[in-house]
Chains A and B, each alone.
Chain A
């Protein structure tokens, strides 16, 4: 099993550009989520999904969109990148009954 796979690992964007961070898991987990990690802030929840077709906002959802058309994939879209979105992004998944999550390796995004 590959676990949770995120692509790309690194990305530089110009302000105003859009992009999609990809996340896929092969563990048949119902629950998937996106976090961002900033210095001194820990991991903050952006959006999450409890199953295909169901998504909801986390703590810091502004500037990000998500959709969940399949159990395996949970992409995160930045519609118009801003320097404040410079961060490391982690995708995670878990069984519906467990809060213990499996994380991807992360995407380091820089917006200039």
Chain B
């Protein structure tokens, strides 16, 4: 059973609009969450993270929101650009060190249409 779920395999958004990528988790021990971005034929690259002591973290056009009671987080991209077209992985860990195993979701493929 997947502990980290991304129920939308794909998403299409018009350039300039907001992209919202959703992620749900089942393990209440998870307290640190990450988003990675992956282009074809490349490895994932770290995008943004959030600790469970926060409910929002912002980095430029990217904002992650965390709703602990719902075990749900979302990544907002505003405004969306064609270069944002990629697969986005949500990931979670029970702890904020690299020794804590990170569990990845299946990914959401975002297409930003010019």
Contacts and interface: CB of A to CB of B under 8 A. Distances in A.
A41 interface: yes
B43 A58 contact: no
Interface stretch (A62-70, A74-82, A98-106): A98-106
Given A90-B43, A90-B44, A42 B96 contact: no
Interface string A84-106: 00000010101111111111111
A101 B4 contact: no
In terms of DSSP, what is the predominant structure of the interface of chain B?
loop
Contacts, number: 70
Interface residues of B, number: 30
Nearest to B2: A42
A4 to B, nearest CB: 7
B53 to A, nearest CB: 15
Contact of A99 (B4, B41, B96): B96
B61 interface: no
